Amino acid sequence: MKNILAPSILSADFKVLGEQIRITSDNGAKYLHFDVMDGMFVPSISFGMPVLKSIQGVSPQVMDVHLMVTDPGRYVEAFQEAGADILTVHLEACEDVQAVLDKIHACGMKAGVTIKPATPVEALVPFLDQADMFLIMSVEPGFGGQVFIPESLDKIRSLRSMLKERGLNTDIEVDGGIYQNNVKEVLDAGANVIVAGSAVFKGTIADNVAGLMEILKENE
Tell me the catalytic residues: 35, 175
Contact 2, 192 (CB under 8 A): yes
Measure Cα distances from 24 to 36, 58, 199, 206 in Å. 20, 11, 12, 7
Exposure class string for 150-159: b at 16+ Cβ within 10 A, else e: eebbebbbbb
Cα-based torsion angle of the residue sequence 90, 94, 97, 99 in order, rounded to the nearest 10 degrees: -130
Measure Cα distances from 78 to 11, 82, 87, 99, 150 in Å. 24, 6, 11, 17, 35
Measure Cα distances from 127 to 28, 123, 130 in Å. 31, 9, 5
The alpha carbon dihedral of 127, 132, 136, 137 has a sign of: negative
